[in-house]
Amino acid sequence: MTTERGTRRRAPAGAAVLREDVTDAIRAAVFEELAAVGFARMSIEGIARRAGVGKTAVYRRWKSKLALVLDLVAAVASQGMPAPATGSLYGDVRAVLELAAYALRHPVASQVIPDLLVEAARNPEISEAIKAALLDQQQGVAAVVVREAVARGELPEGSDPDRALDLIVGPLYWRLVVVRSELPKGYLDDLAASAVAALRNG
């Protein structure tokens, strides 16, 4: 006869459960560390110290700082940017600009994105991750905006979503990431109107 004690199974040795709150703290620390020192100078030790955990906790989840950053970029990409549904081309373009401006002006993102783009020029893995996080999802949003505008008769058939994305986000990215200057009052309204006019003129 088998007793309850005899049938109870023990967890395999080394099968530690990874606490989600610790994982979240490490991911937050990566953002802060990237903003503070950049990818080249970032270290597992610095991340662990900022997260308030030991290095072992980091290495249980990621084998290197590159793996950690790639995972973080993938996590951001998976959240995606919602496609707007305002009912007009101008409204959709203005909504895209509002979301993009908010993201690019975030104090951490404004430091992290330029640094990762520099690293992407040297590292194909980072380049692919950045492409998935920044370009692929925005191309998807632009495709929805163009498709809906065509269906409403606001844009001609065959309008190019990639061109739309360049016209909508390109000037904003230049201003906030490259030039790094503040946006004047009414800038997003004017940019939205200019982008819509350019799209309609083909």
Q: Could you please report the per-residue DSSP string of 51-72?
A: HTS-HHHHHTT-SSHHHHHHHH
pLDDT, tens only, 93-119 = 999 999 888 878 876 667 777 777 788
What pLDDT does residue 80 have?
62
What pLDDT does residue 64 have?
86
What pLDDT does residue 6 have?
44
Structure-derived torsion over alpha carbons of residues 160, 164, 170, 173, reported in degrees to the nearest 10: -120
What pLDDT does residue 12 have?
44
% helix, strand, coil for the chain, step of 5: 70, 0, 30
What pLDDT does residue 78 have?
60
What pLDDT does residue 76 have?
67
What pLDDT does residue 108 have?
66
pLDDT at position 162 over 60? yes
Judge residue 106's burial from the number of C-beta atoms within 10 Å of its C-beta, 0-12 exposed, 13-18 middle, 19 or more buried. Answer: middle
What pLDDT does residue 16 have?
54
Q: What is the pTM of this model?
A: 0.70
pLDDT at position 195 over 90? yes
What pLDDT does residue 9 have?
45
What pLDDT does residue 169 have?
92
What pLDDT does residue 4 have?
42
With b for 16 or more beta-carbon neighbours within 10 A and e for fewer, the 124-147 pattern comes to eebeebbebbbeebbeebbbbbbe
What pLDDT does residue 107 have?
67
| Closest by CA position to 53, among listed 14, 13, 19, 15 | 19
What pLDDT does residue 15 have?
45
| Closest by CA position to 78, among listed 139, 137, 138, 145 | 137
Contacts for 63 with CB less than 8 Å, ≥ 6 apart? none
For residues 105 and 196, the model is more confident at: 196
pLDDT, tens only, 12-56 = 444 457 788 899 899 889 888 888 888 888 899 999 999 999 999
Contacts for 140 with CB less than 8 Å, ≥ 6 apart? 80, 83
**Alpha-carbon distances, residue 64 vs 1, 47, 59 (angstroms):** 50, 11, 7
pLDDT at position 8 over 50? no
